[in-house]
Amino acid sequence: MILLDSSVLIELFRAVNKESTYFYKLASTENDFAISIITHFEIFSGSNKQQDSFWNEFLDSIEVIDFDLQSSLQAIEIYKQLRKKNKMIDLADILIAATSMSYKLPLATLNLKHFQRINELEIVS
């Protein structure tokens, strides 16, 4: 199973040619995907009613993973490490990375600049 970051989903939504997206490249070798509840929030808080139908249909086949106590503890560690190195990223990205790490799932993202700052996060290349 691969955890998808919102950047992968947004690219898919915006693309005219869906088959050229990173998601489709991943789907050619993997068929089990999930998103964090944080990504769910990001997607639906930025969508309108017309877009909601696309997201609801797409997410029907994808597991939504909860942000739990273990994820919170992992997020605290990530936050402290990034703050110490003065390399902070968006809080939502920290929470998504923590979910990925606590559930031991690799993360697929197009936002390598931020996520590569997190030690021990497995990023799908």
pLDDT of res. 65: 97
Q: Where are the domains of the chain?
A: 2-115
DSSP-assigned beta bridge partners for residue 108: 4
pLDDT of res. 125: 76
User: What is the arithmetic mean of pLDDT over 101-125?
Assistant: 95
pLDDT of res. 50: 86
User: What is the arithmetic mean of pLDDT over 81-105?
Assistant: 97
Q: Which residues does 125 contact at the CB level (< 8 Å), separation at least 6?
A: none
pLDDT of res. 33: 97
More confident site: 117 or 125: 117
Q: Residue 63: phi, psi to the nearest 5?
A: -75, 140
pLDDT digits (tens, 9 = 90+) for 24-56: 999 999 999 999 999 999 999 999 988 999 999
CATH topology of domain 2-115: Rossmann fold (3.40.50)
pLDDT digits (tens, 9 = 90+) for 57-88: 999 989 999 999 999 999 999 999 999 999 99
